[in-house]
């Protein structure tokens, strides 16, 4: 095993996704020199998340990525925006995190919504997916009385490594209880759901250094530089969008994974929420993050329960089969936030190819509307970049281009969010890395 002085320093970016965990390592030139990936560990019975299990998995992946060649100089973590857990004074999780798409959120929200105080300046339209519903669920668990703090799943590893309780501001914006204009918590909403504002950690700006990285496992493996730094990450899609904005200022990113998220960095500060778009703080700027989230993979999974529809969808997405006229119909109604179920309209066709066409068309229109909404608040002519696994589905991209009536640029790097987090980590320790090089890698190592 090479000693610290024999290893090459890297900035690591972590992406804690709904489906997978990813780690990438960038050297000082911006080259992706290592990456690791594994399935996000979830309880098979209800898809809830064990935060400690995620921390252990991330450390495994960092050790794997570094191997005998690399050593971590800085790390930033991006991930799911709404999931989190109560932790005790030793930062041990007191339960599992309720996933943002768990149907139990809808039931909790239905009981809460009539009593929920109105709020200005929160940047989101409160719905079942937001963090305050996770607060409500956690506060009702038997061991909640032992809680010392709330920790976002995305920030959990960084909190443990830095020995500091914090929440990134792009994640605070997903709680539906944080005023972006004043950077203060809405205590009435917090106390109604979490129970006490004393459980809320400090809000830290995404991209700011948080503290030294201390991990017995990583140190023991010889993969930590003596000056290794934890950098505040945050919500995955804004961080991926920030990375693309470094590549092309003013660009719009359409990130297509478990959800389809359209995001851009606006130079305008304190943009009020509009349409179906959420607004969060700008990253390393005084501007704003514009964000529009639509469900994607869950709708496809629901429709694919019929094997014949699943086969037709696959053929349409890979471009081997053209959709029929039902691609323009309203025969499929996509599911929404908080586990709201998809469904077919009462007059939907029975033929699998037509049903698949209706699903593809409805999802493409939803994504196209999200792009148009974000573009309405950006300078004219903002280029559109697409990323994620779906960006490599030829038929799907052609349908989207036909819907939005504009060309799109495909980013070859498969892990845009993880690379964006690595760029944030590098920026915090004053590495001047070209985003274009970092985002140009195809699958594999550059």
For residue range 336-379, list pLDDT tens digits in order. 765 678 999 999 999 999 999 999 999 999 999 999 999 999 99
Q: What is the mean pLDDT of residues 256-270?
A: 90
- Token pair of 348, please? 């939907």
User: Position of tokens 């041990």?
Assistant: 92
Q: What is the pLDDT of residue 407?
A: 86
Which tokens belong to 49? 């998340």
What mean pLDDT is reported for the chain? 92
Q: Per-residue confidence at 257, pLDDT binned at 50, 70, 90? A: confident
**Residue 211's beta-bridge partner residues?**
230
- pLDDT of 445: 52
Share of the chain above pLDDT 90, in %: 77
**Mean pLDDT across 381-386:** 93
Give the angle subtended at the CA of 24 by the CAs of 22 and 30, to the nearest 5°.
155
Burial of 261 (0-12, 13-18, 19+ CB in 10 A): buried
Please state, in angstroms and rounded to a whole number, the distance separating the CA atoms of residues 49 and 23: 18
CA-wise closest residue to 418 among 16, 8, 4: 16
According to the model, what pLDDT value does residue 371 have? 94
Alpha-helical runs (H) found in 113-178: 131-139, 153-162, 169-172
Residue 3: its pLDDT value, please? Answer: 59
pLDDT at 256 over 50: yes
In the predicted model, is pLDDT for residue 446 greater than 50? no
**pLDDT score at 142:** 86
Q: Give pLDDT, residue 370.
A: 93
Neighbour count for residue 348 (Cβ, 10 Å): 18
pLDDT at 5: 66
pLDDT of the residue at 266: 95
What is the model's pTM? 0.89
Which range is least confidently modeled, 83-87, 149-153, 257-261?
Answer: 257-261
Query: What pLDDT was estimated at residue 60?
Result: 97
Residue 137: DSSP 8-state: H
The pLDDT tens digits for 136-147 are: 999 999 889 999
For residue 262, which phi and psi values (nearest 5 degrees)? -105, 125
Supply the pLDDT for residue 45: 80
Tens of pLDDT, residues 272-314? 888 889 999 999 999 999 999 888 988 999 999 999 999 999 9
| Separation between Cα atoms, residue 281 and residue 235, nearest integer Å | 11
Higher pLDDT: 199 or 276? It is 199
Backbone angles phi, psi at 70, to 5 degrees: -120, 160
In this model, does residue 170 exceed pLDDT 50? Answer: yes
Question: CA–CA distance from 40 to each of 44, 50, 63, 130, 375 (Å)?
Answer: 11, 10, 17, 20, 32
Report the alpha-carbon distance of residue 334 to residue 366 in Å, rounded: 9
Instruction: Give whole-number Cα distances, 233 to 155, 224, 303, 326, in Å.
Output: 7, 19, 34, 42
Statement: residue 205 has pLDDT above 80: yes
The whole-number pLDDT of residue 79 equals: 94
Report the C-alpha gap between 112 and 126 in whole angstroms.
Answer: 11
Contact criterion met (CB below 8 Å) for 204 and 168? yes
Q: Residue 307 belongs to what H/E stretch?
A: helix 307-318
Q: Is-contact 232 210, C-beta < 8 A?
A: yes
Q: How far apart are CA 337 and CA 399, in angstroms?
A: 24
Please tell me the distance from the alpha carbon of residue 285 to that of residue 108, in angstroms, as a whole number: 36
Residue 1 pLDDT: 46
pLDDT at 125 over 80: yes
Calpha distance 109→115 (Å, rounded): 10
């Amino acid at each position: 095993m090479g000693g610290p002085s024999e290893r090459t320093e890297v900035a690591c970016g972590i992406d804690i996704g709904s489906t997978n965990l990813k780690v990438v390592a960038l050297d000082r030139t911006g080259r992706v020199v290592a990456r690791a990936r594994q399935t996000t560990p979830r309880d098979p019975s209800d898809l809830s998340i064990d935060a400690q299990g995620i921390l252990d998995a991330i450390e495994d992946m960092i050790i794997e990525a570094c191997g005998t060649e690399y050593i971590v100089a800085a790390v930033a973590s991006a991930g799911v925006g709404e999931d989190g857990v109560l932790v005790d004074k030793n930062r041990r999780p007191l339960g599992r995190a309720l996933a943002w798409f768990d149907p139990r959120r809808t039931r909790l929200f239905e009981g809460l919504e009539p009593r929920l105080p109105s709020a200005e300046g929160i940047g989101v339209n409160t719905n079942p997916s937001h963090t305050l519903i996770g607060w409500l669920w956690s506060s009702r668990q038997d061991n909640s009385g032992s809680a010392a703090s709330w920790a976002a799943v995305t920030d959990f590893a960084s909190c443990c490594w830095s020995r500091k309780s914090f929440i990134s501001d792009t994640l605070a914006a997903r709680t539906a209880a944080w005023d972006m204009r004043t950077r203060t918590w809405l205590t009435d909403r917090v106390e109604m759901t979490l129970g006490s504002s004393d459980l809320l950690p400090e809000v830290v700006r995404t991209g700011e250094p948080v503290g030294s990285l201390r991990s017995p496992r990583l140190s023991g493996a010889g993969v930590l530089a003596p000056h290794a730094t934890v950098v505040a990450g945050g919500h995955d899609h804004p961080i991926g969008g920030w990375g693309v904005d470094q590549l092309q200022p003013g660009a719009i990113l359409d990130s297509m994974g478990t959800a389809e998220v359209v995001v851009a960095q606006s130079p305008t500060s304190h943009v009020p929420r509009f349409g179906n778009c959420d607004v969060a703080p700008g990253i390393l700027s005084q501007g704003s993050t514009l964000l529009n989230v639509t469900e994607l993979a869950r709708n496809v999974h629901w429709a694919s329960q019929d094997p014949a529809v699943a086969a037709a969808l696959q053929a349409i997405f890979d471009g081997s089969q053209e959709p029929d006229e039902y691609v323009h119909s309203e025969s499929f109604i996509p599911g929404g936030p908080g586990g709201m179920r998809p469904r077919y309209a009462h007059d939907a066709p029975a033929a699998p190819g037509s049903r698949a066409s209706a699903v593809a068309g409805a999802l493409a229109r939803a994504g196209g509307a999200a792009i148009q909404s974000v573009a309405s608040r950006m300078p004219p002519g903002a280029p559109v970049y697409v990323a994620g696994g779906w960006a490599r589905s030829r038929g799907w991209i052609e349908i989207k281009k036909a819907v939005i009536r504009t060309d799109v640029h495909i980013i070859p790097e498969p892990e845009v969010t993880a690379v964006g987090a690595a760029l944030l980590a590098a920026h915090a320790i004053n590495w001047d890395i070209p985003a274009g090089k970092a985002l140009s890698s195809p699958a594999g190592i550059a």
